[in-house]
Amino acid sequence: MIPVDVIIIAAMDSEIAPFLERATALSEPLQLGTAVHRTGLINGRNALFVRGGIGLVNAAGAATSALLLAAGDGAPLVLSVGSAGGLGGSVRVGDVVVGTDAVNADADARALGYKRGQVPGMPASYPVPQALAAASIDGIPARRKAQTVHHGLVVSTYAFVGQERAVVIKEHFAEVLAADMESSAIAQICHAHKAHFLAIRGISDLCGPASEADFTTHVDDAAERSAEIAVSVLETWFAASESRLPAASVGS
């Protein structure tokens, strides 16, 4: 078991790279299944950096192995980071979407009495706790204009979202801001393990006719913006968490 304050999960090497560049005391990589794990420090906090692989199944496996590796006084905060396709009307390439709620857009068990997007036996969605949502707002760097960071619903799907798929998703989830291929699966595993979860995704494309080319062009920049916001949110979250502890508990 490894003492861990935060688990940071990205699908691809290029998406986890900005976090590794910011980290210190990095360990050698450890592969478990399809996921590659490294420990290190970020903002002075014990972190587990995970390159989990693309897609919902890889993401769920990576989150499970990471949470089983982690040790501490409580479940660590888990971040889903990297790139996403923009779906909200005000979302642009270069923006960042903070997922304060997550849904599996491919789940459809309405015939069994569940809501669209709800995995049977699981919640209808995975909203973040109020304190974490507040930290994700307060943690936005002052140099970033407020309109470039959006907070709201992120959906996940098994398929890369192009123009036709985007229309269907927006019909079913009118408030959606962004789509990726991992976050809802990680959120589901965090729910099972009672760990806090937050998605912070840079927008690489707008799920339109040129989405594949835009993704290839902008994925590295999107990952960097995701990391910039995520590191700032982490600092705010842990500072706020410590302020809520009794004085004798801080640093003990």
**Active site positions, annotated:** 15, 205
* Helical packing angle, 183-193 and 56-69, nearest 10°: 30
Which residue, chain included where needed, has tokens 């398929």? 159
Residue 160 CA from chain centroid, whole number? 17
The CA-atom distances, in angstroms, between 207 and each of 70, 137, 159, 166 are 35, 25, 11, 6
Which residue, chain included where needed, has tokens 């004085």? 247
Which residue, chain included where needed, has tokens 């905060």? 77
Q: Residue-wise over 211-246: b if at least 16 C-beta within 10 A, else e?
A: beebbeebbbbbbebbbbbbbbbbbbbbeebeeeee
- Within 10 angstroms of residue 58's Cβ, the number of other Cβ atoms is 20
